[in-house]
Structure 1
Amino acid sequence: MSETAKNLKLDQSQEPKSKKKGFQLPHVYIIFLIVMLLVVGLSWIVPSGEYARVADPNTGAMIVDPTQFASGVEAKPITVFDYFKALHNGVVESAGIIVMLLLASGSIHLLNKSGAMGAGIQALIRVSGGKEIGIMLILAFVFTLMGTIGLGEGGIPFIPLVVSVAVGLGFDRVTGFATYGAGMMAGFTAGVANFYSTGISQMLVGLPLYSGMTFRIISLLVFFVITAVYLVSYAKKIKKDPNKSVMAEDYKEQLATVKHAQEDASASLEFTTRRKLALFGLAATFIINAYGPVQLKWGIPEMSAVWVMFAIVLVFILRLNPSQTAIEFGKGAGAILPAALAIGFARSVVLLMNQAKIVDTAVHGLASSLQGQSAIVTLLLVFLSVVAFNFFVVSASGKAMMLMPILGPLAQILKINQQVMVTLYQFGDGISNQLWPTSGALMAGLAMVKIDFKAWFKYVWKLQIVLHIAAFILVYIAHLTNYGPF
């Protein structure tokens, strides 16, 4: 393989050279440290409180008993040492997903290093004349399907790949990330078969698992259409005028760099049978890791194992030197470590809130404020509260375990359909996952492809508004049509 072929990967790991203008957000680690300080401050203002926990008859998990809340319970004060220990503990508690990302990144790095990814992207570019938008929409739909089964962080390893494709097709990095992130958001929010939001929430209020699927599919289509129209509009706009990109300076430099690289290496990156087999193996890995959690009840260890198996298969397919492959695997894993740590630091915020025992207080305050309100006001307040609460507790399953035991009985009192309340919860949870900077998965993904959160926010804030409005309209329609069983 020529030196040019080795170097051409349309790799997104290089630092963008865009000129920094105006206010720059601090590094993601600093953001989490600031939010952690905010939690410490709240611990001195918000009184500690705690609900009694009981075993859920459906799942066996310990859930909130909404009838037993104790205010002013003793909580361990957050010391300076506790503040910094939370970083360690957050990373430890997130170790499963972090390790999977390291293993997946190492495997994908091997694919990039071999030239298989670059050759595949070049082949795609050659046949994409006039079809670039269609390719991005197909990819967005694939990630939407991933989101419907709740894959979540499991899709993070694919971010550099889809961004590479977007850059190769002449779009900016944000278009590539939006293809993944906004697509995943649409699917995760609709939650057709998302156990982490829909499944757990339905089980906690006694609904049949994945019941009401027809309405969720309709919601999925609505979210995907809105997301796709927004994505296409932006992609066409920047193609016509690169200055309208939210990363304009970086985008213009990228266009010149990619064009030069393609001209230099187009002849040297042959799309051989072995490289095709390697990419087929990547697709197979993708499918297996989507199928396993849903049909085989896999967890993170099984998904991680598939990535390691893929790396070993690449050694045989591409005839790689085993020892050199091990070295490169480590380099690939190390490249993602800074981004992966963001997931652990995000977890640290929740740990401090739990130590101060202010999470249950916030939930109790929400429930108390809703007493005596009309159904429509309750729906709106709950929706906005879940969106706001998602800033501190991003985990869909974690919030469900805290909120649904409260929202379920509240729905019964106000004669609101339980299925409607579950839908409202999952919509309030899912959309803002691509908005709040406290989302470890979002910040890790942005860091992987060197996209500043400020640039991402410029792209996504209008879409967020439209999606939240559409989501609440869907919730209100569900309420008016008495969607699903009580």
Structure 2
Amino acid sequence: MSSKGKRKGFNFPHVYIMFLLVMLLVVALSWVVPSGQYERTVDPETGIEKLNTDVFNYVEQKDAIGFMDFFSALHNGVVQSADIIVMLLFASGALYLLEKSGAIAAGIHTLLRVAAGKEKLIIFVLLTVFAIMGTIGFGEGGIPFIPLAMAVVMGMGYDRITAFATSTMGLAIGFTAGAVNFYTTGVSQSIVGLPIYSGLTFRIISLVIFIAITIVYILRYANKTKADPTKSIVADEYLEHLEDAKTATYEEEPFTLPRKIALLGLVAVLVGSAYGAIQLGWGMPQLSAVYAIYAIFLVIILRLAPSEAAADFGIGAARLLPTALAIGFARSVMILMTQAEIIDTAVHALAGLLSNTGSIVTLFALFVVVIFFNFFVVSGSGKALILMPIMGPLGKILGINQQVMVVVYQFGDGFTNYLWPTSGGLMAALGMSNVNYADWVKFSWKLFMILHFAAFILIIIAQYIGLGPS
């Protein structure tokens, strides 16, 4: 997960080490923060667990985190993340078949010929496509497509950071706006009793604003580094890449009809997965099935030897193993927090602190709290089940519209999924793309600050206009 070239000064530790350090922090907190629990009930109609915010009790920690508990959490984290991990393994295996067949190279060469002189437009289109994927709830589901988009952007002469940002920031802003994102918008609205996906117009407008901010930021960096490669965050690698491109001779892959059909099949996978997730309620098992079907489709349409294709599928999946472990280790943090029973305590303290503040102060405080809380609990739906039962009643007490509270949750949750080092999805994307975490932070921190500022302005506007359920 490192870029080429020499590095000076402090380097971030390996992602596995970072997760272990955060887990140690949770253990330390478990000795300081008292355990507590809200009363919980299960809605018989929806099956959603709800918190009774009127009943909270401090409890004696039932199961203090022991030595073996700490390390067992790593195993349990991988097991509990199995649905995401398996989907990514299937996707990586299928896309490796496509890559090895030459179809991707042929398609990219053709696209680069068409894109001559239209590089900025291509970046905008790719960013928008990934933003659309994000806004329908593709978080980890969009990760397998990042290397494909990066190959196009780097092929147009931009550096690795520009290429990674084009796709990853698209997912970030789309997931945050969450127009039809069930994992944040849908779950949050169902908890507070709003119609699912209500307030759609406001979220689409927010997405357009986020896209505008992001494309300007990326293109400024892209233009600067293309004009002077030494200003690239990964200058050593970028200069080497440009030098190799000058002397390299490529034998262009013919864009045959079977290869065109194979790439159209990839588009069908993306569209079909989106439709299934939104309209049919598909989860990770169905998405994994789609990639398994696509792999078989590739064997047939590209006339691949079945046994050799099966072996290649395994090789492609194996490339994602380090990333898969990172996703599981991220889940380990939540496992330890749950065992320590300190999540409800933190939420209860938050409710007490904000109960006597004004609406704007409360909105800002909640926005910051969700951002911070996302460091420990990355799951959008899981965090919604913890926080929305508190934020909903708190909004009623202070006269804040429930739709506004949902927006606060969404905007606080989404962006930092692509910034905090505890995000398994981000670490997966970095690993697949050979981008160093420190380089990513160096590029993106200002952009995330701007986006969070814009998001809070939108929250204030939503409160001012009394954003309703329509």
1:7 corresponds in structure 2 to none
2:267 is the counterpart of 1:265: no
Is the partner of 1:237 in helix, strand or coil?
helix
Is the partner of 1:170 in helix, strand or coil?
coil
Q: Which amino acid aligns with 1:59?
A: T
1:482 corresponds in structure 2 to 466
1:91 corresponds in structure 2 to 78
Is the partner of 1:50 in helix, strand or coil?
strand
Is the partner of 1:69 in helix, strand or coil?
strand
Aligned counterpart for 2:119 among listed residues 113, 124, 132: 132
Q: Which amino acid aligns with 2:251?
A: A
1:17 corresponds in structure 2 to 4
Query: 1:444 and 1:189 mapped to 2: Cα distance?
Result: 19
2:160 corresponds in structure 1 to 173
Query: 1:234 and 1:64 mapped to 2: Cα distance?
Result: 46
Identity, % of aligned pairs?
Answer: 57
Aligned counterpart for 2:272 among listed residues 283, 288, 296: 288
Query: 1:194 and 1:226 mapped to 2: Cα distance?
Result: 21
How far has the Cα of 1:75 moved from its partner? 2.9
State TM-score, norm by structure 2: 0.98
Query: 2:393 and 2:356 mapped to 1: Cα distance?
Result: 14
Is the partner of 2:65 in helix, strand or coil?
coil
How far has the Cα of 1:240 moved from its partner? 0.8
Query: Aligned ranges for residues 187-202 of structure 1 at < 5 Å?
Result: 187-202=174-189
How far has the Cα of 1:59 moved from its partner? 2.6
Is the partner of 1:38 in helix, strand or coil?
helix
2:67 corresponds in structure 1 to 80
How far has the Cα of 1:208 moved from its partner? 1.1
Query: 1:344 and 1:317 mapped to 2: Cα distance?
Result: 35
Query: 1:75 and 1:244 mapped to 2: Cα distance?
Result: 54
Work out whether residues 58 and 204 of structure 1, in 8 Å CA contact, stay in contact via their aligned partners in 2. Answer: no
Is the partner of 1:127 in helix, strand or coil?
helix
1:364 corresponds in structure 2 to 348
Query: 1:431 and 1:79 mapped to 2: Cα distance?
Result: 34
Work out whether residues 168 and 258 of structure 1, in 8 Å CA contact, stay in contact via their aligned partners in 2. Answer: no
How far has the Cα of 1:57 moved from its partner? 6.5
1:460 corresponds in structure 2 to 444
Query: 2:462 and 2:368 mapped to 1: Cα distance?
Result: 17
2:375 is the counterpart of 1:375: no
How far has the Cα of 1:184 moved from its partner? 0.9
Query: 2:87 and 2:208 mapped to 1: Cα distance?
Result: 31
Query: 2:102 and 2:244 mapped to 1: Cα distance?
Result: 18
Is the partner of 2:238 in helix, strand or coil?
helix
Query: 1:351 and 1:256 mapped to 2: Cα distance?
Result: 47
Question: What RMSD over aligned residues (CA atoms) do the two structures have, in Å?
Answer: 1.4
Work out whether residues 93 and 347 of structure 1, in 8 Å CA contact, stay in contact via their aligned partners in 2. Answer: yes
1:5 corresponds in structure 2 to none
After TM superposition, the runs of 4+ consecutive aligned structure 1 residues lying more than 3 A away are 258-261
Query: 2:37 and 2:60 mapped to 1: Cα distance?
Result: 7
Residue ranges of structure 1 left out of the alignment (5+ in a row): 1-12
Work out whether residues 61 and 340 of structure 2, in 8 Å CA contact, stay in contact via their aligned partners in 1. Answer: no
Aligned counterpart for 1:203 among listed residues 187, 190, 197: 190
Query: Aligned ranges for residues 87-486 of structure 1 at < 5 Å?
Result: 87-261=74-248, 263-266=249-252, 269-485=253-469
Work out whether residues 191 and 389 of structure 2, in 8 Å CA contact, stay in contact via their aligned partners in 1. Answer: yes
Query: 2:106 and 2:49 mapped to 1: Cα distance?
Result: 51
Query: 1:90 and 1:277 mapped to 2: Cα distance?
Result: 39
Work out whether residues 213 and 451 of structure 2, in 8 Å CA contact, stay in contact via their aligned partners in 1. Answer: yes
Query: 1:471 and 1:400 mapped to 2: Cα distance?
Result: 18
Query: 1:247 and 1:69 mapped to 2: Cα distance?
Result: 51
Q: Which amino acid aligns with 2:361?
A: V
Work out whether residues 50 and 73 of structure 1, in 8 Å CA contact, stay in contact via their aligned partners in 2. Answer: no
Cα separation, partners in 2 of 1:259 and 1:102, compared to 1, 3 Å? farther
